[in-house]
Amino acid sequence: MPLIKGDRIVDDPWIAVDDEEGLPEGAPAIVGLARWRAERDTLAGRNAPLGIRLRADQPPGEIAADLDRFQVIALEFPSFGDGRAYSYARLLRGRHGYRGELRAVGQVLRDQALFMRRCGFDAFEVAEGTDIAGWREALGEISVFYQPAEDGRPAAHGLRRNGDGARVGA
């Protein structure tokens, strides 16, 4: 599947590995939570980058103590109406301080991309033939936000200042 990072499609060096499959020798691999639990010590000692995929019913608290071991955390959207991964992304970035790649996988739709980015996602696994121009447009549709988020952009109240830097109305 194509991977969008920033505003372009990039090559994805990561290999998603099912629990029953062998791990690729020396290549970056993304494993599921069940495999991580069963093979934690072996995987932690592996001499290649490691990522983990969490299903929508697997909250990030399950891996909070091990976040430094993962270069990628893939959060699954099983349907466009299931928003648990938004909350998980906010928790990983805000509460747990995760700074690695947060990848949206599953039912990842262009119309939700901007809000996914606001929650902390920085990579999106998308369907073959995805129109990258449409994604760029979706990511730029809104330039000012009222609520703070995990993408580092200031909320509207933080932008309201006089020329001398004092807040308007203060």
User: Which residues of the chain have a pLDDT value below 50?
Assistant: 169-170
Q: Is residue 107 part of a domain?
A: yes
Q: Determine phi and psi for 32, rounding to 5 degrees.
A: -85, 165
**82 lies in which domain range?**
3-142
Residue 159 in any domain: the answer is no
- Could you tell me the CATH number of the domain that includes residue 78? 3.20.20.70
**Paired tokens of 159:** 């932008």
User: What's the structural domain count of the chain?
Assistant: 1
Token pair, residue 123, equals 């990579």
Q: How many residues does the chain have?
A: 170
166: in domain? no
Please report whether residue 155 resides in a domain: no
SS3 at position 158: helix
Alpha helices in 54-155 (DSSP H): 84-90, 113-119, 132-139
pTM: 0.83
Does any domain span residue 161?
Answer: no
Q: Is 164 inside a domain boundary?
A: no
| Measured torsion, CA atoms of residues 61, 63, 65, 69, in degrees rounded to the nearest 10 | -150
The answer as to whether 109 is a domain residue is: yes
Whether 130 maps to a domain, the answer reads: yes
